[in-house]
């Protein structure tokens, strides 16, 4: 079933199926982005998806035309992210698309006023655009040097301008950031670099009309847009947050514009660990694409590898700019971090995996398999005194027990008369039907070509041994088995001679074993002996290091404090574990931890004591670690330390 032939009912089923794909914000972005998106979405009264995905396109558009992420020597991915959020809007509160457009317009004007350079005025002048045709889009991109952003609240706003195949081909080139040659004979009309982004928040009905309206948009939808489906946020008025984050959002946009649109190109690169992680994900997606190609099924998103690099870059930029604004750190090119870490690449992979799963659910048809016909069961056969009698509804057993003394030799009477008895009543018939409904075997008629074997439903015979005293009830509960042996057990229970009960001394010792994980013990909860035995190498390396003051981030850079409980190699060296490790060294008496100041963890630092200030316990620990006094005081006696008044400071 192609997209053009999908009915609205079928598209609604696909949309509900896509909503079942889980989305966890803490797995696809950092803590800084998560806190900001959660707070801002609560103030708008919308879901986190409805704000997070358009924010990615807006942040990518604020990175200008001279920015990109360098994956290999010749592989440079531009910051171009086209997002489409499909969400119902039965209750219209705040239009997220129009709200973001207004904030970007104010940020654009603020960045234009603050800068006095005329060239930057032209560069930042109106990179936001609305409804357009091909000629208007080209004129606008000429004025902004190929820089543009369009935010729509309906997919039909973009669909109206894509009726011709030529226009769809141009947009495919813009999605790749390629040049736009309007005329090969005129070089003035050539755009060497294009950075055009789209952010659309639309209803399922509008998306369905767009997909079924023209095949050109279907190609763009499949190849270019990061599509996600979000449920409608039914929040009460009291649940809408009163905290406004508009100034912070505008500050994010203004800082990104001033950082990336002035001073030449800004290229982002990946660290060694990030490259290794990117290589693993790259090979994984490549293998999946090969498998799907053999099956002639395009299950993998075609530009997935390109979007992996783009999402890593945009998530890195958002995380750093929000962190700088939170701690009021000036944003300059000298202090800006352009190295993408492995955690950001993994978050981009999780986000891309969520998008691919939702895209499959939204584009694949929901097939309802036909129920197979149940095999007909043959009529039940009752064996009565060695004779096979076909069981009919008139031969239902009595509600009493089958082997009770009163009905052992009795068989249910067969009613051959079609007329009802005089004592018949509809109430008793209904009561009997309800009591015997679970035991009634439906009458079925197997086909003539199928050989049917009889099914034994019950067995009754008068030859079974019965106790001579029918009034004595049979009690199978053994109260004291330890005092009765096997010989006295049968006589004590007064069983017939044909039955016997024995007690075995062997008990089943195969009891299920519950496997439980050992409880996690942090560094702070360990005893002194456990800490020194499990982290002996790290403690020795830290105490022999040639600095007197060290921060957690420096410990991570030098790989002094590995976390043995980390499940992933990228999480082995973290500032949080290094901070706990330094606090534990403080408890041992080797130094003092200072900070954080004003809640800023960047000011946390560990200051090491001199050997003369240590006690007997600390000197004993140094003796156990084979650390001499000269090795311990190396940071206080080195030439670098003497040049800095007796200590070497290593702050963040």
Whole-number Å distance between alpha carbons of 637 and 611: 11
pLDDT at 220: 81
Tokens found for residue 471: 């009034």
The pLDDT tens digits of the residues spanning 46-72 come to 999 999 999 999 999 999 899 999 999
φ, ψ dihedrals at 600, nearest 5°: -95, 115
Q: What's the pLDDT tens digit per position in 159-201?
A: 666 556 667 778 888 888 888 876 544 445 678 889 999 999 9
C-alpha span between 307 and 77 (Å, rounded): 8
- The tokens for 560 are 């002094």
Q: How many CA atoms lie less than 13 Å away from 235 in the CB half-sphere? A: 18
pLDDT at 104: 93
Q: What is the DSSP string of 189-219?
A: TEES--EEEEEEEE-HHHHHHHHHH-HHHHH
Which residues of the chain carry a pLDDT beneath 70? 1-4, 92, 112-126, 131-132, 159-166, 182-189, 295-299, 365-522, 567-568, 570, 596-602, 638-652
pLDDT (tens digit, 9 = 90+) per residue, 126-154? 688 876 677 788 888 888 888 899 999 99
Contacts 24+ apart (CB under 8 A), 12-19: 12/204, 13/366, 14/361, 14/362, 14/363, 14/364, 14/365, 14/366, 15/86, 15/204, 15/229, 15/362, 17/361, 17/362, 17/366, 18/86, 18/229, 18/358, 18/361, 18/362, 19/229, 19/230, 19/231
535 closest CA partner among 518, 553, 550, 522? 522
Torsion of CA 105, 110, 116, 120, to 10 degrees: -30
Task: Check whether the bond before 148 is cis (ω within 30° of 0).
Answer: no
**Sheet hosting strand 549-550, strand order edge to edge:** 549-550, 605-608, 591-594
Q: How many angstroms separate the CA atoms of 283 and 289, rounded?
A: 10
What SS3 class is residue 442? coil
Distance CA 253, CA 109 (A): 11
Asked whether the beta carbons of 254 and 110 are under 8 A apart, the reply is yes
Contacts of 27 (CB under 8 A, 6+ apart): 347, 350
Q: How far apart are alpha carbons 226 and 81 in whole angstroms?
A: 8
* CA 649/CA 652 separation, integer angstroms: 10
d(CA 376, CA 444): 6
Residue 430: per-residue pLDDT: 59
The tally of CA atoms less than 13 A away on the side-chain side of residue 559 is: 5
| CA pair distance 619, 244, nearest whole angstrom | 55
Question: What is the three-class DSSP state of 575?
Answer: helix
> Which pLDDT score, from 0 to 100, does residue 297 have?
58
**CA torsion angle for 106, 110, 112, 117 (degrees, to 10)?**
-170
**Cβ neighbours of residue 502 under 8 Å, at least 6 residues apart?**
486, 489
pLDDT of residue 343: 94
Determine the pLDDT at residue 188. 54
Integer Cα distance of 294 and 302 in angstroms = 15
Number of neighbours of residue 10 by Cβ within 10 angstroms: 14
Asked if residue 158 lies in contact with residue 198, where contact means CB atoms within 8 angstroms, the answer is: yes
CA–CA separation, 328 and 248 (whole Å): 11
């Amino acid at each position: 079933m192609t997209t053009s032939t999908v009915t609205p009912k079928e598209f609604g089923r696909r949309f509900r199926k896509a909503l079942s794909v889980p989305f966890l914000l803490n797995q696809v972005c950092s803590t800084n982005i998560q806190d900001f998106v959660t707070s801002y979405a609560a103030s708008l009264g919308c879901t986190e998806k409805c704000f997070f995905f358009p924010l990615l396109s807006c942040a990518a558009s604020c990175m200008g035309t001279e920015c990109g992420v360098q994956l290999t020597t010749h592989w440079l991915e531009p910051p171009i992210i086209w997002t489409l959020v499909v969400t119902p809007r039965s209750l219209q509160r705040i239009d997220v698309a129009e709200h973001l457009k207004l904030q970007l317009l104010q940020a654009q004007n603020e960045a234009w006023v603050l800068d006095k350079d005329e060239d930057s005025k032209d560069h930042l002048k109106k990179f936001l655009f609305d409804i357009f045709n091909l000629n208007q889009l080209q004129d606008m991109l000429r004025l902004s040097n190929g820089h543009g952003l369009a935010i729509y609240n309906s997919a039909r706003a973009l669909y109206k301008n894509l009726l011709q195949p030529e226009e769809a081909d141009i947009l495919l080139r813009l999605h790749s950031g390629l040049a736009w040659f309007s005329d090969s004979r005129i070089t003035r009309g050539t755009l060497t670099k294009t950075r055009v982004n789209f952010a659309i928040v639309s209803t399922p009905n509008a998306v369905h009309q767009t997909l079924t309206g023209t095949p050109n948009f279907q190609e763009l939808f499949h190849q270019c847009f990061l599509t996600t489906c979000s449920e409608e946020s039914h929040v009460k008025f009291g649940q809408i947050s009163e905290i406004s984050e508009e100034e912070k959002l505008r500050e994010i946009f203004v800082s990104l514009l001033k950082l990336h649109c002035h001073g030449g190109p800004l290229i982002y690169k990946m660290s060694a660990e990030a490259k290794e992680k990117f290589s693993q994900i790259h090979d994984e997606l490549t293998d999946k694409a090969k498998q799907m190609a053999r099956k002639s099924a395009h299950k993998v998103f075609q530009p997935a590898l390109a979007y992996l690099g783009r999402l890593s870059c945009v998530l890195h930029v958002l995380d750093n700019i929000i962190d700088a604004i939170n701690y009021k750190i000036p944003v300059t090119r000298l202090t800006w971090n352009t190295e993408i870490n492995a955690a950001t690449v993994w978050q981009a992979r999780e986000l891309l995996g969520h998008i691919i799963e939702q895209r499959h659910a939204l584009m694949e048809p929901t097939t309802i398999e036909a129920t197979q016909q149940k095999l007909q069961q043959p009529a039940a056969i009752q064996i009565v005194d060695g004779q096979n009698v076909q069981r009919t509804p008139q031969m239902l057993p009595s509600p009493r027990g089958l082997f009770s003394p009163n009905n052992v030799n009795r068989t249910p009477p067969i009613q051959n008369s079609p007329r009802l008895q005089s004592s018949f009543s509809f109430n008793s018939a209904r009561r009997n039907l309800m009591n015997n409904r679970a035991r009634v075997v439906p009458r079925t008629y197997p086909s003539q070509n199928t050989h049917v074997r009889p099914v034994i439903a019950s067995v009754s015979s008068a030859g079974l041994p019965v106790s001579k005293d029918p009034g004595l009830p049979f009690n199978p509960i053994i109260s004291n088995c330890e005092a009765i042996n096997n010989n006295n057990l049968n006589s004590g229970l007064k069983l017939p001679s044909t039955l016997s009960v024995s007690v075995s001394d062997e008990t089943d010792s195969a009891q299920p074993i519950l496997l439980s994980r050992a409880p996690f013990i942090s560094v702070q909860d360990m005893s002194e002996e456990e800490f020194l035995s499990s982290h002996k190498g790290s403690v020795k390396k830290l105490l022999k290091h040639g600095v007197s003051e060290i921060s957690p981030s420096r410990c991570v850079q030098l790989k002094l404090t590995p976390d043995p409980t980390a499940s992933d190699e990228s999480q082995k060296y973290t500032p949080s574990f290094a901070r706990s490790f330094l606090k534990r060294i403080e408890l041992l008496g080797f130094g003092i931890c200072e900070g954080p100041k004003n809640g800023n963890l960047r000011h946390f630092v560990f200051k090491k004591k001199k050997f003369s200030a240590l006690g007997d316990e600390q000197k004993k620990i140094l003796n156990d670690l084979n650390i001499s006094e000269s090795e311990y005081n190396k940071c206080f006696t080195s030439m670098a330390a003497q040049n800095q008044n007796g200590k070497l400071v290593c702050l963040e």
